[in-house]
Amino acid sequence: MMDPRAWQEFDAHWIQRLSLLEGKCGWRRVAITFAHSGDSWFWLGGLGLAWLIGPEEWKTMLAKTIGAILLLAVIVLVIKFSIKRERPEGDWGAIYRTSDPHSFPSGHAARAFALAILAFGWGPVWCGVLLAIWAPLVSLARIAMRLHFPSDVLAGAGLGILYSVAAVLLFP
């Protein structure tokens, strides 16, 4: 187990290196887009719409994915409100900072990695490949926009992977 001071040093070093502060870099708009692309409302709305209008053969897979994402959100919130780690100082993401002031673990990283694994297990492989490329980009964007420390994202990614592997194994 890593010493808490070592984690703090790790977080401080990497958030400083990865942050895209206002006016610092042209990549900020890209990071903002990726940071938002993992929002739960976006995914739940999109999956729900696909369930409503998509082909019948997708309905079971989409229903399982929606249920898995909702349960994962509950797990993440229980952990967040138990640990109560404050988000990093930052100038962007007021909606996140207001509605959910806690950063550990990253729900966006958990959801992004879970969606990738669930797509490999339940959906078309091509979708899993695209989501496996997208998930780390969402996670890095959450650090770049100073909404999460790197350890928040690593914990969220690990949680999302473990959770979704268990979901796929339990509900093939």
pLDDT tens sequence across 97-107: 888 889 999 99
pTM for the model: 0.90
Q: What value does the mean pLDDT of the chain take? A: 90
How do the domains of the chain map onto residue ranges? 4-170
Spell out, as residue ranges, where the chain has pLDDT lower than 50.
Answer: none
Note the pLDDT of residue 1.
59
Q: How far apart are CA 56 and CA 102, in angstroms?
A: 39
| Among the listed residues 108, 132, 136, 134, the one whose alpha carbon sits nearest the alpha carbon of residue 18 | 136
pLDDT in tens, 65-115: 999 999 999 999 999 999 999 988 887 777 888 888 899 999 999 999 999
Residues 6+ apart with CB under 8 A from 18: 140, 143, 144, 150
CB 149 within 8 A of CB 88: yes
Retrieve residue 37's tokens. 């692309």
